[in-house]
Structure 1
Amino acid sequence: MAGGVKKPVNIFRLQDLGEPKEVFNWRLWFAVFSFGLLGAARGVDEGLISGAFNSKHFQGTINYSSYTTVEQANIKANVSSMVQLGSVGGALIAFLICDKIGRIWATRQLCLLWVLGIAIFMGANGNLSAIYAGRFIVGLGVGQTPVVGPVYIAEIAPASVRGLCTCIFTGFVYLGIVLAYFTNYGCQVNLGDTTAARWEVPTSLHVIFAVLIFVLSLFQYESPRYLIKQDQSDKAAQVMARLRNLPPGHDYVVQEINAIASSHREEMEATAGSGWLGILKEAFTVPTNLYRVCLTICAQILSQWSGAGSITLYAPDLFKILGITGTDRTLLVTAVFGIVKLTAAVVCALFLVDFIGRKRSLLLGITFQAVSMIYVAGFLTAVPELGGQEGYVLSPSQSGLSKGAIAMIYISGFGWALGWNSMQYLLTAELFPLRIRAFCTSLAMAFHFANQYGNARAVPNMLLPLKLGGISPTGTFWSFAIVTVLGGVWVFFMVPETAGRSLESMDRLFSLPWYKIGRYGNRNADRSDLESPHIAEEKVITGRVVLDEVEKKA
């Protein structure tokens, strides 16, 4: 360093990529916060719906007790999972909306859909059809959040902290869950179980977050990468300068914009005049892109069927199965579960994802999750009465094992937050070229919600005894354990490391044959890709100038 003065170390960055200190400023963090808050949409719903549904007043409005056990399981599954079903449609249309009206207006319209759906749900007055319709419309809005939020954040974040910034979205998922769990618990204790306020007050969290996100969007600027895609390079440079807290003419800003524009220009030249058909063709016929599509889709399937998402959704019911008695106590234990997952998400965002890398963090989380699922499945195998006898009383020895199983549920949540739930958004947002990024992210999130819907819809029926058509709690947790272990093996062999790379350099990871990418892709990539984007672009420009001179002489 000049003058022998060392630059301050930022422990939250994978490495120093040469960014000016002005890059890490309040405007960047405010934008990341505003769009990260979109993560709370899913968290609030997942944390609220089970507790709200279990309130006696809500059940009374739909005459829940008049149905058979199997019908009750189906109704609960339908109400709980209808948001996921709507989210499949929301994720599919998100890329059209993002590319048509931009990331900012996409955020505003999804907030309006979100509020409309909640209004229908709360005003249904016990009509199951209206309840389903309202929840479905909520899903159309919420389903766009994991496309719009991570894509915007990934597009504005410097490479050295992109993992941290994108994981803030995941952190807000868990903040939403914690607030929802504790709101359920507080209303249960203070408002009683037989009043409308018991479930209506927690449900109002949806409206609070939707309005807050809408208002924050009024103070944000469009993504520079989207502006370049719309041939607004001058405006993109102005926005990038604002985000980087540097003058528009600063070398770093100019070279970063040039790198983005150059990459997009090459994509457009390769697919000139092909329109939407060209996007589909580029995604599914270019081998490196097809591998990335398969990578993100497989990640969604394996993550959702590992069971952690359904544990979040049905946590009060599952804690009851493991021996927790009393509604108040069940909700309190569930709320603590939310805090554990939030803590794990914060640890992952601050200390792991950009420090030890995406892949190691993912494998670490899967290991925690696998051990936990195997323990819980083994416990339920040893004490099958918990899944088949109402009011079964544990013996002293079984009580100790039960506490261990509850602790393992906490550990599984910790592992989920460290691994799958952070990485599924981050990898999806940063793997794809700009031209197909919104489409491929939407496709991946559609698979995310389709599998989440399938899992959320199936779990209440899976938990039923064999004689009622289920596979029992024991079979349910063994199936989760098997999928989790398979997911770990798949990640080890198939998923490359993406930490520290600019979005425009990801192609280098996929230059090997598909069966070698997971193990050797990062080593094979040119190490110069890990340099600052402005340095990489400088090399690209220099190379092109030399090439032009050679061609002229020829």
Structure 2
Amino acid sequence: MVSSKRVYNWYIALVAAMCMVLYGYDASVFNAAQGSDNWLLWFDLDTKRDANLIGLVNTAYTIGAIIAGWFLGGPTADYFGRRIGMAIGCILTIIATFLQAFAPWHNLGCFIGGRVLVGIGQGMALTAGPTYIGEVSPPEIRGKIMTFWQMFYSVGSFMAYWIAFACNANKAKLGHWDWRTVVIFQILVPLLIVILLPFQPESPRWWIKRHGDVGRARACLRTIRDTDQDVEDEILAIREAIEFEHEALGGGRGYLALFRDPSVRRRLYLAFVINVGQQLSGQGTLNSYSSAIYKKIWTSSETINLINALNATFGIVFTLNAMWTADRFGRRWLLIVGAIGMAVCMLIVPIVGLTTPDVVSADGTSTTKTQPVGISIVFLLFLFIFFYKPSWGATVWIWTSEVFSMNVRAQAVGMCSQMQNVANTVFQQFFPIFLANEGLKCLFFFAATNVLLGVFVYWFVPETMRVPLEEIDALFGGQNHAEKGGQLLGVPAAGAQTQAQTQVGAQGKQEDAAEIKEV
């Protein structure tokens, strides 16, 4: 029977996880908006004449997100708290939504300004959100809860694509509200988060690290841990880790501490690689250019919009696979299996496309694939999402949020998460040319990349499943912060206490069994 405190623990973590809807929605909403003739008319744009300007609208968002993730999100979450970091990100997104939806006639600058601001908001929320989840979740369910972080990305895409599909079907009635409706719905989830955040506890680790307030940290833990013993053990582990970071590491925190400790540097570089790899696996490109790829197979824009919407729908279901695999088989297993599956899909898709004949369209102006071939390619791309979502979608976020020590966690998570946008910004500058020149053959690149990612994980990425946050440094050649902090405080480490209690209990059971045998 699940306790009420465990249910509440899930609730507060899921409120934080909803910040990912911001990312999923905005990653899809601009594709929907720029596909509207009314949007192009409102800002006096032509897709051929103003291709670079339209590209700038998309790049403005990623620049804002990168700046916030690298330089603003971490310090804000550390100084004001994880809840305030998430709230600021959501409020900026709400303001930015109105700037975009109600930009004046032919004033593209206002729309771009809104894109920059929503990027900053997203960068702030995506730094504080996973940090908060990692700090309030017990180790045994941390992977399950972080699964919802990635799932809410799919929820954001689901909302954007289905709203866009509905608006496109009724664009004659809606007029300029066809693209405005898609944009303005972006305020829905951040508004809900801002309303809910004040009524849930702050991270207990932040209370002790920022204010040294053990009392408030204990009060927070009592709302989400089942027993007083669990609360006291966790309080002790947090105090020990923070004491070690303060004394042994000279109180180093933030950006300087990221490069002072060799074990932290190692984690940072590993997290950089897997976050960049998440986007170079092919998912980032499919999310932005799926319509362009599908146009080589289908001629109907309505069909393409429906496929995108169904893709987002299945993405929600596929992500849930991480719920029962992340904490059962581990992070490494998911990343390796996911990489192999994605590589196979990206290998077969271009083979099918290149070895099947083209047919002339009904109007005689273009060539496409036959419907059975098109269906098979779409099926393979859906299968790619089946492998991606629970592995390089959800697990990359799980691993990134749990490997850093308290003194650098917020800054590191913010920087690593925005490496996804760095990779996207760079790669997507030349992918349209790559696609135009090579067609479906460009997918061989992703097949090779996924093989390399699987090999990288096998050799370099350690398993973090069910390891307490305060003890995770030991996996990377660092010292156990809880154990060393316990020595500085002159008390047994919390992990050692738990182990000793387990050993005593086991010894007692053995003695009882011996007595029963004698009788």
SS in 2 for 1:499: coil
Paired residues for 1:171-210 under 5 Å? 171-192=151-172, 195-210=175-190
User: Any conservation in 2 of the 1:256–1:537 contact (CA below 8 Å)?
Assistant: no
Partner of 1:162: 142
Deviation digits for residues 234-256 of structure 1, max 9, x if unmatched? 1100111012255xxx1111111
Counterpart among 501, 517, 520 of residue 467 in structure 2: 501
1:395 CA displacement: 5.7
User: Any conservation in 2 of the 1:55–1:198 contact (CA below 8 Å)?
Assistant: yes
Partner of 2:495: 536
Write the letter of the residue equivalent to 1:500: R
1:193 & 1:52 partners in 2: Cα distance?
Answer: 16
Deviation digits for residues 477-535 of structure 1, max 9, x if unmatched? 222222222111111111111111111121221239xxxxxxxxxxxxxxxxxxxx996
Partner of 2:39: 58
The 1:384/1:449 distance shift into structure 2, 3 A limit, reads: farther
Write the letter of the residue equivalent to 2:185: L
User: Any conservation in 2 of the 1:61–1:126 contact (CA below 8 Å)?
Assistant: yes
The 1:330/1:193 distance shift into structure 2, 3 A limit, reads: farther
1:273 & 1:47 partners in 2: Cα distance?
Answer: 42
1:194 CA displacement: 7.2
SS in 2 for 1:218: helix
Paired residues for 1:426-441 under 5 Å? 426-441=398-413
Write the letter of the residue equivalent to 1:102: G
Paired residues for 1:151-550 under 5 Å? 151-192=131-172, 195-230=175-210, 231-244=212-225, 246=227, 250-272=228-250, 274=252, 279-321=254-296, 323-348=297-322, 350-382=323-355, 391-394=365-368, 396=370, 399-465=371-437, 472-511=438-477, 536-538=495-497
1:354 CA displacement: 0.9
SS in 1 for 2:464: coil
Write the letter of the residue equivalent to 1:119: F
1:478 & 1:127 partners in 2: Cα distance?
Answer: 41
The 1:162/1:452 distance shift into structure 2, 3 A limit, reads: same
Counterpart among 37, 45, 48 of residue 18 in structure 2: 37
User: Any conservation in 2 of the 1:113–1:140 contact (CA below 8 Å)?
Assistant: yes
Unaligned runs of 5+ in 1: 1-7, 9-20, 466-471, 513-532, 543-554
1:80 CA displacement: 3.0
User: Any conservation in 2 of the 1:57–1:193 contact (CA below 8 Å)?
Assistant: no
User: Any conservation in 2 of the 1:80–1:457 contact (CA below 8 Å)?
Assistant: no
Deviation digits for residues 89-110 of structure 1, max 9, x if unmatched? 1211110100110001111111
Deviation digits for residues 338-377 of structure 1, max 9, x if unmatched? 11211111121x2111111111111222222111111223
Partner of 1:139: 119
1:390 & 1:148 partners in 2: Cα distance?
Answer: 54
Counterpart among 145, 148, 153 of residue 128 in structure 2: 148
- 1:123 and 2:95 aligned: no
2:364 & 2:224 partners in 1: Cα distance?
Answer: 58
2:416 & 2:78 partners in 1: Cα distance?
Answer: 16
User: Any conservation in 1 of the 2:154–2:312 contact (CA below 8 Å)?
Assistant: yes
1:315 CA displacement: 2.4
- After superposition, the CA RMSD in angstroms is 2.5
User: Any conservation in 1 of the 2:356–2:373 contact (CA below 8 Å)?
Assistant: no
The 1:455/1:219 distance shift into structure 2, 3 A limit, reads: farther
1:429 CA displacement: 0.7
Counterpart among 16, 22, 27 of residue 46 in structure 1: 27
SS in 2 for 1:365: helix
User: Any conservation in 2 of the 1:44–1:205 contact (CA below 8 Å)?
Assistant: no
Unaligned runs of 5+ in 2: 479-491, 502-519
1:191 CA displacement: 3.6
Of 455-464 and 334-343, deviating more is 455-464
SS in 2 for 1:324: coil
2:92 & 2:22 partners in 1: Cα distance?
Answer: 12
SS in 2 for 1:65: coil
Of 34-43 and 483-492, deviating more is 483-492
Write the letter of the residue equivalent to 1:357: G
User: Any conservation in 1 of the 2:236–2:494 contact (CA below 8 Å)?
Assistant: no
2:84 & 2:205 partners in 1: Cα distance?
Answer: 15
Partner of 1:110: 89
SS in 1 for 2:320: helix
User: Any conservation in 1 of the 2:32–2:182 contact (CA below 8 Å)?
Assistant: no
Partner of 2:76: 97
The 1:310/1:236 distance shift into structure 2, 3 A limit, reads: same
2:167 & 2:119 partners in 1: Cα distance?
Answer: 25
TM-score normalized by structure 1?
Answer: 0.82
The 1:24/1:454 distance shift into structure 2, 3 A limit, reads: farther
2:250 & 2:364 partners in 1: Cα distance?
Answer: 65
Of 435-444 and 34-43, deviating more is 435-444
1:457 CA displacement: 3.9
1:51 CA displacement: 1.7
Of 21-30 and 329-338, deviating more is 21-30
Write the letter of the residue equivalent to 2:310: V
1:286 & 1:66 partners in 2: Cα distance?
Answer: 49
SS in 2 for 1:394: strand
Partner of 2:62: 84
Write the letter of the residue equivalent to 1:536: G
User: Any conservation in 2 of the 1:155–1:223 contact (CA below 8 Å)?
Assistant: yes
TM-score normalized by structure 2?
Answer: 0.87
Write the letter of the residue equivalent to 2:225: R
